[in-house]
Amino acid sequence: MPKYGRGLNKEIYLAVKSGEIATIFGIGEVRAFIKRKGWNAPDSYINVCLANAAAENHSLTYKKYFKSIGNGVYTIDTEH
């Protein structure tokens, strides 16, 4: 069972789709979202989750929810 709802990246993706997080976001917006949810995720975990979910070469089985637009800023992957 995921530690953060349905899984942190999926929760972030759904929050962006619902408008709870801005379409273009970084760790600050994600940190505020996690705080509103009452979860306690370290910044290092958030950074790794975002980077892995945006990296095409991380893993073939890891879902690519986000697209990096540079300098720790992301948007959701429209192909997902």
At 24-77, the pLDDT tens digits run 999 999 999 999 999 999 999 999 999 999 988 777 777 889 999 999 999 998
Q: Does pLDDT of 80 surpass 70? A: no
Q: What is the C-alpha separation between 50 and 6, in angstroms, rounded?
A: 15
- What domains sit in the chain, N to C, each tagged with a CATH number? 8-76 (1.10.238)
Of the two residues 5 and 1, the one the predictor is more confident about is 5
Contact status, residue 33 vs residue 21, Cβ threshold 8 Å: yes
Residue 4 has pLDDT above 60, yes or no: yes
**Which two structure tokens, joined as six digits, stand for 38?**
């009452």
